[in-house]
């Protein structure tokens, strides 16, 4: 462990091309400090899914992949393509920052990212930082940060053709071409996924009796070029468009478009200084086609960042950064203001010693609407031995009010203050033989929580305290690669003593897989305890446990068959209710068979 801590300064001074290689490695991390580092040297509790993990686990959506993250629970309004939210460490669905290739994707109106529209076939890697990270990223990073990296190219030239079929008339098609050499890498991909879906609610009145379909067309592209060993430039694009149906009066459906574009230029100026310039654009457009409630909510966001890393020695590193982004909203609803900007500066100092390492950071945000906000973080890492370490940390977070909160012509409050959090955490990490253990205990206090009063006007009135404990273990057991996690949460409104809505208090996840030559099998168990649909804790949603089975066959070096069966025991459960109190359905059983062909060209 001491040696691992000392690896960090060397990593920071390495050639810039290693940032691309890091996407393939499970033991590196990019999101925690916006630079490549060893996971063992980071102060953040983290979960990483590489492309190999995604292929092994065979998730049918991003939510299906993330539900196994310690401390993370999912809320959906039905099946594939339905409104999806994540609660990380007991926080709300708007209190976790979600990035795609460094770009924010949350809607400016509601503040919730449209995770349900991101196709897992377009993903190279997912990193989840558990705990506040506002001293690095600013607003929204109270519960943590989820960053999705899109596909990248590799050495050589490779094509990918994937065809799949599943329950409820589900069909997937994916075509891709990628390649590269020592200087240039590229990737191109396109996919079409569609399903007839299920009837998402138990309501059987009028148009709500029908199945709710979903159609998604996706395109991704990336290009990275090293002009020299010290100078790199790159661009990444992702676009998801389609249509999703759901149950509500007027038999509505949404046409949607979710897209991101990111470009960077990185220069290793000398042994001391590395600088990186990033620019980006993201859009979240949603048009509701309904005879009763037609509407349009379109978010456009431009951003720019300038990041600088100064490695003074093997032990001392300073990171300096400037961030800017502007949100614009176009909507059929009435908003008193439809755009605002945010600009920020941050600094983080890191000391890496043989026994003790430390981290101290600060960020200042200046927002056009609510003024300025300062956030801090600090951490100490103690190396108990070569295979054990303890991390003690303090982190602050905040979330800016949304356009709905501030500017909506019906019930807005322009005097709202940002939500603020303070988090205290103690982690223990250990590696014994082939077993890796991690434990995290934390307390988070959130003030000025934005809630609706009796007139449906948002107010800063609630205070929340969340206590949590996360345990994870990873081990090869008789040839079965097994990852297990258990979480205990106590998310409470301090004024009422009630459990926060749609957050379970206990979570369990187990994944185990084994390869028998060309054949592989795996199983997953996910369990959540009771949750409540409402803040008053009057609508109880029963706890549940689900079992998933999967198998794969490497028919040849270039051909692979995959079979996944979700909810094998056909468990009926609901993660939320609709406005009338009717539970949203989840698929009782879903089987998917796919064929992937990857010829070397």
Give the helix/strand (H/E) hosting 11.
helix 2-12
E runs forming strands in 77-230:
84-88, 96-100, 103-104, 123-130, 144-150, 156-166, 170-180, 184-198, 212-226
The residue with greater pLDDT, 450 or 321, is 321
Give the confidence band of 78 by pLDDT, cuts at 50, 70, 90: confident
Give the chain's radius of gyration (CA, Å): 23
Using CA atoms, how far apart are residues 460 and 339, in angstroms rounded to an integer? 22
* Residue 31: strand, helix, or coil: coil
The pLDDT of residue 37 is above 80: yes
Give the pLDDT confidence score for residue 577 in this predicted structure.
Answer: 87
* Strand ranges across the sheet with 45-49: 45-49, 123-130, 144-150, 96-100, 103-104
- Six token digits for residue 168: 């409820």
Q: What is the mean pLDDT of residues 180-209?
A: 84
Using CA atoms, how far apart are residues 392 and 262, in angstroms rounded to an integer? 34
Give the confidence band of 21 by pLDDT, cuts at 50, 70, 90: low
Place of tokens 């159609």: 215
Which residues lie across from 230 on neighbouring strands?
none
Q: What is the mean pLDDT of residues 255-282?
A: 96
Using CA atoms, how far apart are residues 595 and 601, in angstroms rounded to an integer? 19
The residue with greater pLDDT, 204 or 47, is 47
Give the pLDDT confidence score for residue 205 in this predicted structure.
Answer: 58
The pLDDT of residue 187 is above 70: yes
The pLDDT of residue 211 is above 90: no
* Residue 122: strand, helix, or coil: helix
Give the pLDDT confidence score for residue 335 in this predicted structure.
Answer: 86
Q: What is the mean pLDDT of residues 413-438?
A: 93
The pLDDT of residue 345 is above 70: yes
Q: What is the mean pLDDT of residues 121-145?
A: 95
The pLDDT of residue 18 is above 60: no
The pLDDT of residue 1 is above 70: no
2-597: CATH number: 2.40.170.20
- Give the DSSP letter string of 358-422: EEEEEEEEEETTTEEEEEEEEEEEEEEETTEEEEEEEEEEEEPPPHHHHHBTTT--TTPPPEEEE
Give the pLDDT confidence score for residue 247 in this predicted structure.
Answer: 77
Give the pLDDT confidence score for residue 396 in this predicted structure.
Answer: 95
Q: What is the mean pLDDT of residues 290-310?
A: 90
- Six token digits for residue 37: 């580092």
Which residues lie across from 97 on neighbouring strands?
145
* Residue 338: strand, helix, or coil: coil
Q: Decide: 327 and 281 in contact? Cβ < 8 Å.
A: no
Give the confidence band of 207 by pLDDT, cuts at 50, 70, 90: low
Q: Is 570 exposed, middle or buried (0-12, 13-18, 19+ CB in 10 A)?
A: exposed
Using CA atoms, how far apart are residues 284 and 114, in angstroms rounded to an integer? 8
Using CA atoms, how far apart are residues 18 and 185, in angstroms rounded to an integer? 13
Give the pLDDT confidence score for residue 206 in this predicted structure.
Answer: 56
Give the pLDDT confidence score for residue 208 in this predicted structure.
Answer: 63
Give the pLDDT confidence score for residue 466 in this predicted structure.
Answer: 97
Using CA atoms, how far apart are residues 162 and 459, in angstroms rounded to an integer? 49
pLDDT tens per residue across span 483-523 = 999 999 999 999 899 999 999 999 999 999 999 999 999 99
Q: What sign has the CA pseudo-torsion 199, 505, 451, 323?
A: negative
Give the confidence band of 393 by pLDDT, cuts at 50, 70, 90: very high
Give the confidence band of 249 by pLDDT, cuts at 50, 70, 90: low
Torsions phi, psi for 422 (to 5 deg): -130, 130
Kindly report the length of the chain: 601
Which residues lie across from 524 on neighbouring strands?
511, 548
Give the confidence band of 9 by pLDDT, cuts at 50, 70, 90: very low
The pLDDT of residue 96 is above 60: yes
CA distances in angstroms from 498 to 503, 505, 534, listed in the order given: 11, 12, 10
The pLDDT of residue 580 is above 90: no
Where is average pLDDT lowest: 18-32, 286-300, 383-397?
18-32
The pLDDT of residue 367 is above 50: yes
């Amino acid at each position: 462990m001491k040696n691992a801590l000392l690896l960090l300064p060397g990593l920071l001074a390495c050639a810039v091309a290693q940032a691309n290689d890091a996407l393939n490695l499970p033991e590196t991390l990019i999101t925690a400090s916006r630079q490549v580092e060893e996971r063992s040297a980071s102060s953040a509790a983290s979960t990483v899914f590489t492309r190999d993990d995604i292929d092994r686990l065979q998730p049918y959506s991003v939510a299906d992949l993330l539900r196994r993250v310690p401390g993370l629970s999912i809320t959906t309004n039905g099946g594939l393509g339905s409104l999806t939210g994540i609660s990380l460490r007991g926080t709300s669905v708007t209190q976790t920052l979600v990035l795609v290739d460094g770009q924010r994707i949350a809607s400016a109106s509601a503040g919730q990212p449209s995770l349900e529209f991101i196709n897992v076939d377009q993903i190279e890697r997912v990193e989840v930082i558990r705990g506040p990270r506002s001293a690095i990223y600013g607003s929204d990073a109270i519960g943590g940060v989820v960053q999705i990296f899109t596909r990248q190219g590799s050495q050589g030239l490779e094509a990918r053709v994937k065809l799949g079929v599943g329950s409820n008339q589900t069909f997937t098609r994916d075509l891709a071409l990628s390649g590269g050499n020592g200087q240039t890498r590229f990737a191109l991909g396109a996919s079409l996924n569609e399903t007839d879906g299920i009837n998402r609610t138990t309501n059987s009145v009028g148009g709500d009796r029908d199945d709710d379909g979903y159609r998604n067309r996706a395109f991704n592209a990336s290009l990275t070029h090293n002009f020299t060993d010290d100078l790199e430039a790159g661009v990444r694009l992702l676009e998801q468009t389609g249509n999703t149906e759901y149950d509500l009066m007027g038999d509505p459906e949404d046409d949607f478009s979710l897209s991101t574009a990111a470009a960077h230029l990185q220069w290793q100026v000398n042994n001391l200084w590395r600088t990186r310039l990033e620019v980006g654009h993201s859009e979240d457009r949603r048009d509701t086609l309904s005879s009763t409630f037609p509407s349009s909510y379109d978010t456009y966001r431009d951003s720019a960042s300038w990041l600088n890393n100064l490695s003074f020695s093997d032990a001392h590193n300073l990171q300096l950064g400037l961030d800017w982004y502007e949100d614009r909203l176009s909507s059929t609803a009435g908003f008193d203001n439809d755009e605002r900007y945010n600009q920020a500066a941050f600094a983080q100092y890191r000391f890496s010693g043989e026994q003790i390492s430390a981290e101290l950071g600060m960020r200042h945000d200046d927002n056009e609407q609510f003024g300025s906000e300062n956030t801090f973080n600090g951490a100490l890492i103690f190396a108990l031995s070569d295979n054990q370490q303890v991390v003690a940390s303090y982190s602050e977070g905040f979330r800016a009010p949304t356009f709905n909160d501030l500017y909506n012509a019906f019930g807005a409050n322009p005097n709202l203050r940002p939500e603020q959090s303070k988090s205290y955490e103690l982690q223990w990490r250990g590696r014994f033989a082939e077993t890796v253990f991690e434990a995290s205990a934390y307390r988070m206090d959130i003030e000025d929580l934005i809630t609706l009063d009796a007139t449906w006007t948002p107010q800063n009135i609630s205070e929340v305290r969340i206590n949590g404990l996360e345990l994870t273990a990873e081990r090869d057991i008789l040839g079965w690669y097994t990852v297990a996690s258990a979480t205990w949460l106590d998310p409470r409104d301090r004024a009422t003593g009630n459990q926060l809505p749609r957050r379970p208090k206990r979570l369990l996840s187990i994944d185990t897989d084994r390869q028998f030559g060309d054949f592989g099998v795996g199983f997953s168990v996910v369990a959540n305890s009771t949750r409540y649909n409402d803040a008053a804790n009057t609508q109880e949603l029963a706890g549940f446990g689900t079992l998933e089975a999967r198998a794969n066959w490497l028919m040849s070096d270039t051909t692979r068959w995959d079979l996944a069966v979700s909810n094998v025991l056909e468990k009926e459960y609901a993660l939320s209710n609709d406005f009338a109190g009717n539970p949203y359905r989840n698929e009782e059983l879903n089987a998917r068979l796919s064929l992937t062909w990857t010829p070397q060209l």
